[in-house]
Structure 1
Amino acid sequence: MLLNDRIKAFSELGKFLNQFKSTGYEKVNTIHHNDDFFDKMVHKITTAVHHNGWFTEKNVLFSVEQWSNALTKNNLKDWLSPYALEKTEPKTVGIVMAGNIPLVGFHDFLSVLISGHHVLVKQSSNDNQLLPFLASYLIAIEPRFEASIKFTSEKFKNFDAVIATGSDNTSRYFEYYFGKVPNIIRKNRNSVAILTGNETKEQLEVLGEDIFRYYGLGCRSVSKLMVPKGYDFDSFFKAIYPYNDVINSAKYANNYDYNKAVYLMSNYKLFENGFLMLKEDESYASPIATLFYETYDSKGQLSKKIESDSEKIQCVVGLDFSPECIEFGKTQSPQLSDYADGIDIIEFLTKIN
């Protein structure tokens, strides 16, 4: 199968996914195999929501919509143009997927297949509804993919390389088990937003998207604020108020109440507004319904800290702090070339031997 064939198949998958938006479902008659797959996709979305209490319909559809936007023929060609993929010798690449947000492992799945390799997938039980179904649609579009896609719930056997995502604890197991083959092993990472006090109300409001999308469970979710000393959080709290309905989620509300009780019993100083708590803390991984914050004296001091903690940070959001900074409100809409942990997966896949 040529690279153009693989690109065409994934772009057709993108067109199929484009029918499922947060604004509603719209069946398009020109989509290939739609009579066989459209209603089943609706059912799969419902199943995913019932299967995992954190996967609301809104968040599942948001994830689907982001992938439908990414999987266009032009986007795929632009992404892959720097790489030599036409002469790939197919290898079997195992992927151990996380399950914290809907379709969190799709980029790895896409990368392996579009590079011309075979994929062996072990999903998290928290997110195992949608991807096998999308794989079946992909095979319907391009039957030659069937020989290249395998899902398993067992330990990996007969693999040439591995991409594994987990916690700092599971990474030690991954390194032991997969250390003898080419591998990418991801650990815990979180995202931070750098505030200066000069942000507009609109910028702070869309920062709420970076904080509350997926209830803050993604590695690209902002879990910490860096603020200048003496920063007044009043403008921040006013700007994010439109996200107050997050507290209507029973699971989120339970975490809010529990963590608030723990903080108060420990006599921690808190800022809170009824649906989000701010706690001063040097850590990056804040609990659900909590944002950590840390103060800084100067941009130079902050730059050194961000650089020294780079292996703990997935995204940095802010205004003109560095060329790598992401715009407010954009962390959950990455481009195909925005690689997790900054590791170029396609480059890695071209060097498997």
Structure 2
Amino acid sequence: MNLEQRIKAFAKLGNFLKQFNTSKIEKNDKSEFNTLFFDVFKVQINRAQEYNGWFNKENVLKAFESWSEALTLKNLNKWTSNYNFNGEYAPKNVAIIMAGNIPLVGFHDFLSVLTSGHNVIVKQSSNDKHFLPLIAKFLEYYNPKFKNKITFTEGKLTNFDAVIATGSTNTARYFEHYFGKYPNIIRRNRNSVAILTSNETQEELESLGNDIFQYFGLGCRSVSKIFIPKGYDFNPLFNALYQFKDIINYKKYENNYDYNKAIYLMSLFKLQENGFIMLKEDKNYASPIATLFYEYYNSFDDLLLKLELESEQIQCVVSNKNYKDFVKFGETQHPKLWNYADGIDTLNFLLTI
């Protein structure tokens, strides 16, 4: 199976996923192939919340929608055009240890391994283990040559040549101990931040709400902290975020809101809050669910230096400033194929192991 065939398979998958989006679920192709997979995907989407309370239907569909936008022939060709796939090498077995904080969070690694021509051994998180096997079946049905290239395991990883592992900062220590002798990418906890200057438009602040609330703020690309200038007026931000007020009606989110608010009040922390999100001044990056940390800055240049020094804690930075490493408001959860987690070029790693 050559690169062109692999790209066509994932483009076919992207086209299939377009049938599942936040506006509607609608079968566009009446073929037997589509019917076989459409129905089983639809059932799994409707049942996802039974297995993971954070995987409500809206968030699952948002994940599908994001990947359907990414997996086009144009994007896949643009992504792969920057690499040399002409080298002669025997496919290696690459183990992936996946996180499970948001739907399909490990899919990019899965995509990268198969696109590179290697074989993938997947160890899924118990929090997200139902969609990727369906995707694997889809690919195998579309092109039977995938059948010998995809393996799922719940036991001890064996017979692998390289490892991509994603977990917490604590589990990363164990990953380094067990997998340090193999070529590896080991990812730790990271969070995303936004820089506000008081010059943001209403539309930009509303878009920031998507960066904060999508997936209940559980993703590494979710904005968990904002940097604000001295004397910042919170009213425009709270007004913009009001459209997300219904998130408090989701019981798991409400429970976290009530619990964390009680802790803060008992600890006499000063809060800014509006009934569905709390803003707390804090120098840390990882904020609890239903909480957004904030920190004041004196100068933009000093803040850039701080973020550079602490870059290993940050996944992405949101701002409307014209800076090459910034992400636009509302786009943190829509990375391009070439926007790699932790800034590590996964595809280059795979093509050079």
Q: Which stretch shifts more, 41-50 or 324-333?
A: 41-50
CA contact (8 A) 1:16 1:31 kept: no
Q: Report the equivalent of 1:74.
A: 74
Aligned runs of 1:2-151 on 2, under 5 Å?
2-29=2-29, 33-87=33-87, 88-151=89-152
Q: Distance in 1 between matches of 2:279 and 2:35?
A: 49
RMSD of Structure 2 on Structure 1 (CA): 1.0
Aligned position for 1:249: 250
Deviations 1:125-155 (A, max 9, x none): 0000101001100100010001000000011
**Are 1:161 and 1:181, in contact at CA under 8 Å, matched by a contact in 2?**
yes
1:322 Cα deviation from its structure 2 partner: 2.3
Q: Deviations over 1:164-192 (max 9, x none)?
A: 00000000000000000000000000000
Following superposition, the deviation at residue 35 of structure 1 comes to: 2.0
Structure 1 contact 15–31 (Cα < 8 Å) conserved: no
- The SS at the match of 2:272 is strand
Residue of structure 2 in register with 1:232 after alignment:
233
Given the alignment of the two structures, is residue 293 of structure 1 paired with residue 294 of structure 2, yes or no?
yes
Paired with 1:273 and 1:212, the residues of 2 have a C-alpha distance of 14
Q: In structure 1, what is the equivalent of residue 184 of structure 2?
A: 183
Q: What's the CA shift string for 1:86-144, capped at 9, x where partnerless? A: 43430000000000000000000000001000000000000001010011001000100
2:193 paired with 1:192: yes
Which letter does structure 2 place at the counterpart of 1:41?
Answer: F
Q: CA deviation at 1:321?
A: 5.8
Greater mean alpha carbon deviation, residues 86-95 or residues 98-107: 86-95
Q: Deviation of residue 193 (structure 1)?
A: 0.3
Cα distance in structure 2, aligned partners of 1:260 and 1:293: 16
Paired with 2:335 and 2:319, the residues of 1 have a C-alpha distance of 16
After superposition, the C-alpha distances for 1:28-59 in whole angstroms (9 at most, x for unaligned) are 22667112111111011122222110001000
> Deviation of residue 287 (structure 1)?
0.1
Contact 1:229 1:295 in 2 (8 A): yes
- In structure 2, the residue corresponding to 1:302 is in which secondary structure? helix
CA distance in 1, matches of 2:323, 2:280: 26
Contact 1:32 1:141 in 2 (8 A): no
Gaps of 5+ in 1: none
How many angstroms does 1:232 deviate by? 1.1
Q: Does 1:157 align with 2:180?
A: no
**Secondary structure in 1 aligned to 2:293?**
strand
Distance across 1 between alignment mates of 2:215 and 2:253: 11
CA contact (8 A) 1:3 1:86 kept: no
Count of residue pairs the alignment pairs up: 352
TM-score, normalised to structure 1's length? 0.98
Distance between the aligned counterparts of 1:9 and 1:315, measured in 2? 30
**Aligned-residue offset at 1:24:** 1.0
Q: Is the 8 A contact 1:118 1:148 kept in 2?
A: yes
Q: Provide the rounded CA distance (Å) in 1 between the counterparts of 2:29 and 2:53.
A: 33
Percent identity over the alignment is 60
1:262 paired residue number = 263
Q: Is the 8 A contact 1:21 1:64 kept in 2?
A: yes
Aligned to 1:20, what secondary structure does the other structure show? coil
AA aligned opposite 1:69: E
217-226 or 315-324: which moved more? Answer: 315-324
